[in-house]
Amino acid sequence: MSTVNLIRDPRTNRGTAEATESRVNNKLYGLIPTVVESLEQQVTRCLEQVRSKSTDLERYIYLSNLRNSNVTLFYRLLMDNFEELVPIVYTPTVGEACVKFSHIYNPANCDGLYISIKDKGNVAKVLDNWPYEAPDITVITDGSRILGLGDLGINGMGIPIGKLSLYIGAAGINPIRTLPITLDLGTNTQKHLEDPLYIGLRQNRPEDPEFFEFLDEVMDALSAKWPNLIIQHEDFSGVHAFALLERQRNKYSMFNDDVQGTGAVILSGLINAFRESGVPLKDHRILFLGAGSAGVGVASQIRDHFVKAGNMSIDEARDHFWLVDTKGLVTFDRGDQLAQHKTIFARKDNNGQQFKDLESTLEYVKPTCLIGLSTQGGVFTPKIIGRMAELNKKPIIFPLSNPLKNSECTYEAAMQNSECRVLFASGTMFPPYTDPASQKVYYPGQGNNMYVFPGIGLGAILAQASVISDDMIYTSSVALANTLTEEEKSAGLLYPRLARIREVSTMIAAEVMKEAVKEGVAKNKEVVDLVNANDEAKLISYIQSKQYNPAY
Ligand SMILES: NC(=O)c1ccc[n+]([C@@H]2O[C@H](COP(=O)([O-])OP(=O)(O)OC[C@H]3O[C@@H](n4cnc5c(N)ncnc54)[C@H](O)[C@@H]3O)[C@@H](O)[C@H]2O)c1
Ligand SMILES: O=C(O)C[C@H](O)C(=O)O
Ligand SMILES: [Mg+2]
């Protein structure tokens, strides 16, 4: 093999940082400009280039090509400029990139695996084509519910790539051992089927029996080939997300990020918001708009917290939740066949009354806390926010749908209609708000599962967890809430500053590892011994010693 591959392979390419001697020895001399640069100099140039682009989508494309030409440089750039670049490589820009994925797709890039329903029966052979070393973690989607953007088919690939970039940047997973996968089962979105540049199968999605057979084959093949692989399900449509979790969670080391990761991150923000609100746990009344994978996942996680921290029975805890979907308040007697996951929180104390929309349900419930996971931008109107502010001294309002245009309200609207009293977190980051009267600047929270999934995955990888249990997820949530510093608390933040994400992910991973050991699901003997030695500092430095740091 020609040594020119050293600069063609993104995992070995150093570009202008290649030393002169190495250029001579590897017959690269003359192929690179004369200068020998440091990684820092390269980062400076790339940052200038990113900033010179006129749109975020152009920045996304630039960064995607950089990742495909020099992995070390891309991750150094990302990590050194995390707050600036996360909104480009991840939510919200990744949403636009997915919608246009077939158009911005660079046919020269090799970003992950595409496994199509036509490979049914041969999935193991497709996995054999993965040319790199055994992955530690995969993020896998079927593109059926990408953010709040619907069924994007194969275009959903931007999501596994984006999530894994955060695993690498935020938690320090080695990029060489990550695997983005998109399952191409077709799409039910006509626009994509008719798009001449669409890069996926031009057919509708299969019926459920074929879907589940295929998903079982994929999961079997993945865990047979890579027995320690951690598998993250992402952006599967709601009903499938729950069904796959139920079916596969005790068999593989897997979790669903939209159900469980979101549950953990929102509970964490709420633990801090409940404290700030001054209202005791037992008096909180929580109203959800949206009863899908995220809505029910989040409600379940908070319910379990009420049981554990509020000393309630599961039935008492469940009474604190009201869920609204497209048909109104979810009740047992409203006359439609409820999907299995909705029955968990369906009300039976409504005395035959049905509430058809958010406004009337809000009057009926008088909530302390309003959570949006509905995909519907702007539905928390000024009137709804104002009413929450009348009902509560410190109303808790979390519009969590992604990307930005799907957010149930903006931070500005929440502040303007609550006299700046709102306790707020959104799925996509909003800019700070300056109160015109006082000129005081307020900072919003970002309730996005990116605060927990990197730590959950890292902990599970290092422990070699055979399954990912409910308590491992719950632990990640409490651990995240506990990472808030006194300074962050006094600034009114519900989540730690993004700049501390590495430290935060490390602390979450440590708690996840401890829980895995406690439950006897950790296969890594070294970690079992380390956790049993009860030396926090040693555990943290063990994790740090395993983390990837981009350098030549
Ligand atoms: N912040 C985060 O970390 C995070 C995590 C996961 C999901 N999300 C976001 O949450 C949203 C929902 O995700 P999901 O997985 O639950 O999707 P889903 O498709 O499973 O559920 C959507 C729910 O919203 C309801 N809904 C839709 N339109 C409505 C309307 N007009 N009024 C009332 N209810 C309505 C649907 O009936 C359904 O119950 C997406 O926008 C996604 O991006 C955010
Ligand atoms: O991807 C995100 O930004 C969060 C979440 O997983 C979502 O589906 O919206
Ligand atoms: Mg998601």
Give the pLDDT score at 110: 85
Query: In this structure, what token pair is assigned to residue 64?
Result: 């995607």
pTM as predicted? 0.97
Q: Which atom of ligand 1 is nearest to the CA of 375?
A: 41
Give domain 108-256's CATH number out of 2.30.30.90, 3.40.50.10380, 3.40.630.10, 3.40.50.720. 3.40.50.10380
Quick check: 406 pLDDT over 70? yes
Which pLDDT tens digit goes with each residue over 409-456?
999 999 999 999 999 999 999 999 999 999 999 999 999 999 999 999
CATH architecture assigned to 261-446: 3-Layer(aba) Sandwich (3.40)
Q: Which atom of ligand 1 is nearest to the CA of 291?
A: 39
Residue bearing tokens 């699901």: 521
Task: Give the up-direction half-sphere exposure of residue 514: CA atoms within 13 A in the CB hemisphere.
Answer: 17
Instruction: Outline where 181-318 has alpha helix (H).
Output: 190-193, 208-225, 238-248, 262-277, 293-310, 314-318
Give the pLDDT score at 221: 98
Give the pLDDT score at 172: 98
Query: How sure is the predictor about 2, in pLDDT bands with cuts at 50, 70 and 90?
Result: low
CA distance 444 to 415: 10
How remote is the CA of residue 378 from the centroid of ligand 3, in Å? 20
Give the pLDDT score at 3: 85
Mutate to test the pocket of ligand 2, among 86, 89, 91 (most ligand atoms within 8 A of CB): 91
CA distance 202 to 187: 7
How remote is the CA of residue 401 from the centroid of ligand 3, in Å? 10
Which pLDDT tens digit goes with each residue over 344-361?
999 999 999 999 999 999
353 near 336, Cβ under 8 Å?
no
Residue 163 appears among annotated catalytic residues: yes
CA distance 549 to 58: 27
Domain 108-256 matches domain 261-446 at the CATH topology level: yes
Residue 523: count of CB within 10 angstroms of its CB: 15
Which pLDDT tens digit goes with each residue over 95-153?
999 999 999 999 888 889 999 999 999 999 999 999 999 999 999 999 999 999 999 99
Mutate to test the pocket of ligand 1, among 139, 257, 258 (most ligand atoms within 8 A of CB): 258
Catalytic-role residue among 75, 105, 163, 495: 163
CA nearest ligand 2 atom 2, residue: 91
ipTM: 0.99
Q: Which atom of ligand 2 is nearest to the CA of 258?
A: 6
Catalytic-role residue among 90, 198, 433, 451: 90
> Which ligand lies nearest to the CA atom of residue 148 in the structure?
1
Domain boundaries, the chain: 3-89, 108-256, 261-446, 449-486+494-546
Q: Which amino acid is at 227?
A: P
| Of residues 5, 167, 248, 227, the one with CA closest to residue 509 | 167
Which pLDDT tens digit goes with each residue over 509-534?
999 999 999 999 999 999 999 999 99
Q: Does 427 sit in the ligand 2 pocket, CB within 6 Å?
A: yes
Mutate to test the pocket of ligand 1, among 325, 404, 495 (most ligand atoms within 8 A of CB): 325
| Of residues 240, 247, 251, the one with CA closest to residue 293 | 240
Q: How far is CA 463 from the centre of its chain?
A: 21
Name every residue whose Cβ is closer than 8 Å to that of residue 338 and which is 6 or more positions away in sequence. 330, 332, 346
Query: How sure is the predictor about 296, in pLDDT bands with cuts at 50, 70 and 90?
Result: very high
400 near 372, Cβ under 8 Å?
yes
CATH architecture assigned to 3-89: Up-down Bundle (1.20)
Give the pLDDT score at 21: 96
Mean pLDDT in residue range 188-217: 98
Residue 342 appears among annotated catalytic residues: no
| Of residues 245, 312, 334, the one with CA closest to residue 321 | 312
Query: In this structure, what token pair is assigned to residue 381?
Result: 């109107």
| 191: region left, alpha or beta (phi > 0 left; psi from -120 to 50 alpha) | alpha
How remote is the CA of residue 402 from the centroid of ligand 2, in Å? 6
